[in-house]
Amino acid sequence: MDAVNSSEIVSDANEIDPIRMQCTAGKKYSETAQSVASNGTEECKKQRHWSELPSLPLERIYSFLRREDQFNMSLVCSKWSEGYGLPSVWKTFIFHLTKSQLSMDTCPVMKFVQRYSRMFRHVEVYHEFSRKKRFINTWCRHFIVFLQFLTSNSQLISVRFVGLSRLLRHIDNTTYDDIYRAIKNFLRSQNHLQRAEFYGYSFRIQEGVELLRILIQNNRKSLTHLVLKGFVLYDPMGQEQNSNFAQNLPILADLPSLTTFEIDYTLIFENMVARQCTALQTIKSCQTLVLSKIILEYENTMINIEDFRGLTSTDWQFLKMLSPNLQVELIIYTDALLRREVEFLIVPNMPITLLKYNLHRHEAFERRMITDELFRHLLACKTNDHLVSLNLWLWCPVQDLVSPFIPFLPACKKLKYLVINIHYPTNGLDLMEYWLNNRPEYLEKVNIYIWDIEDDEDYTTLKNLTSQYVSRLKLIGMNVEVEINY
């Protein structure tokens, strides 16, 4: 109200005194100019404040940006350029050269590696495969130089190598030897690794064993997480030549700080466990390990189980003595006869807490086996005593889902998570009908995925029926979700 009254008084005075009106207009113009100047000064001050950000918030901003955006930010002012060189900005480095970068005469990335590699703590290496010989040779050359910089300058906490197997099959022996030597020298230079992950490198077994031995010798006290997926080639024809590899192979006791071991079923895994169990029987006493999880993956298209010894129930018993808190996550991909593989991989005394079984084949014999023999064998091995999560991928229709589950599920007192992937015309309705009258109190979450419905009417009908069953199951306290893939 006061502001309005003041405006009215000024207006009246201006009407009476034109000279005063001019003075007032001039005053307003002067005030406006001062205001604009003041705002400009404030903007300048704001800009100056941004350029004077302390290191901590500057580091925080850099942490949210991609490497390309970090570089652009470093060009804004000298202060931000200094921030670009802070250790936190370079703590994690991803070596992933694109085809456009490989087509250049010189790779700008390598300049930053040379300058900042001493600050690296977490390194990830990814290879984008190309059949062009020029790209392959350029990537190999930069990769070797990259490893040499790491060898000279860095003490890493974690390293992750992904996807070199296809590359190694398309290079000459000299380049292969150079890469192997560079990796070996790099591992020999590291003494504080806590995580080491290899995905798809496919070394020859003797070379893989040598790299593993160097890695463990240098980082035995610090290494807590080890991944060897596709680490060595499966070469059954060369087993006689490789018969002495186990003599140089480390055992699990050589890794006193290891908590998680993720590996394919390979000669390395089999012999590490078997040699460890033999050592336990010989020594009669051994300090227990903190190893709490083995993630073991088997794919029958990659190996032939007849070429392996197989771990026995006694082996796993000794392994549990060494690692009392051990849990095993077993992942099986297969299209072969079920009984032989399951009996080879799953034996008594294996503390399997997660089982993922992925069956590809469609023969009627396989369907009968999956619904009968699998659960029968799991019960015989007392796998149900430990099982927390069960994931079944049945890439074939199964006429009866209820019968095999009835004796098995009630015996799994620790089972919390159940995932079923099935192909239509199997629909899971019979299993949900059974649960309405026999609710499994222990299950916390059930996911059912139904695949390959091709008919519109079938899809609509099944969608409505499953929705009704899900609603009824939720009323009795079961957390069930059904997804139909049309």
Q: What is the pLDDT of residues 277-290, one digit of tens each?
A: 888 777 656 788 99
Do 476 and 448 touch, CB atoms closer than 8 A? no
Q: Considering the chain, what percentage of its residues have pLDDT values greater than 70?
A: 83
More confidently predicted of 27 and 233: 233
Separation of alpha carbons 263 and 197, rounded Å: 10
Please write the tens of the pLDDT for every residue from 176-217: 999 999 999 999 999 999 999 999 888 888 899 999 999 999
pTM of the model: 0.83
Question: In the structure, what pLDDT confidence band is assigned to residue 414 with cuts at 50, 70 and 90?
Answer: very high
Question: In the structure, what pLDDT confidence band is assigned to residue 349 with cuts at 50, 70 and 90?
Answer: very high
pLDDT recorded at residue 369: 52
Question: In the structure, what pLDDT confidence band is assigned to residue 51 with cuts at 50, 70 and 90?
Answer: low
SS3 track for the chain: CHHHHHHHHHHHHHHHCHHHHHHHHHHHHHHHHHHHHHHHHHHHHHHHHHHCCCHHHHHHHHHCCCHHHHHHHHCCCHHHHHHCCCHHHHCEEEECCCHHHHCCCCCHHHHHHHHHHHHCCEEEEECCCCCCHHHHHHHHHHHHHHHHHHHHHCCCCEEEEECCHHHHCCCCHHHHHHHHHHHHHHHHHCCCCCEEEEECCCECHHHHHHHHHHHHHHHCCCCCEEEEECCECCCHHHCCCCCCHHHHCCCHHHCCCCCEEEEECCHHHHHHHHHHHHHHHHHCCCCCCCCCEEEEEEECCCCCHHHCCCCCHHHHHHHHHHCCCCEEEEEEEECCCHHHHHHHHCCCCCCEEEEEEEECCCCHHHHHHHHHHHHHHHHHCCHHHCCCEEEEEECCCCCCCHHHHHHHHHHCCCCCEEEEEEECCCCCHHHHHHHHHCCCCCCCEEEEEEECCCCHHHHHHHHHHHHHHHHHHHHCCCCEEEEECC
What's the whole-number mean pLDDT along residues 358-376?
A: 64
Question: In the structure, what pLDDT confidence band is assigned to residue 383 with cuts at 50, 70 and 90?
Answer: very high
Do 227 and 198 touch, CB atoms closer than 8 A? yes
pLDDT recorded at residue 279: 80
Please write the tens of the pLDDT for every residue from 211-264: 999 999 999 999 999 999 999 887 665 554 556 777 788 999 999 999 999 999
pLDDT recorded at residue 245: 77
Question: In the structure, what pLDDT confidence band is assigned to residue 359 with cuts at 50, 70 and 90?
Answer: confident
- φ, ψ dihedrals at 417, nearest 5°: -125, 125
pLDDT recorded at residue 8: 30
pLDDT exceeds cutoff 60 at 368:
no
pLDDT recorded at residue 371: 62
